[in-house]
Amino acid sequence: MDRIRQAGNSFTPGTAITVTNAAVAQLVVGEIAKKNLAVITVESNPVRFKVGSDPTTSDGTILNDGDTLELDSTDDLRLVRFIATGSNATLNWHVGVG
Specify the pLDDT at position 15.
93
- Domain with residue 26: its CATH number is 2.60.120.10
Residue 40, domain extent: 4-96
Q: In the structure, what pLDDT confidence band is assigned to residue 94 with cuts at 50, 70 and 90? A: very high
Domain count, the chain: 1
DSSP per-residue string spanning 70-90? EE-SHHHHHHEEEEESSS-EE
From the list 42, 33, 38, 32, the residue with the least C-alpha distance to 6 is 38
Q: Where are the beta strands (DSSP E) in the chain?
A: 4-6, 9-13, 17-19, 37-43, 47-51, 61-63, 68-71, 80-84, 89-96
pLDDT in tens, 46-82: 999 999 999 999 999 999 999 999 999 999 999 999 9
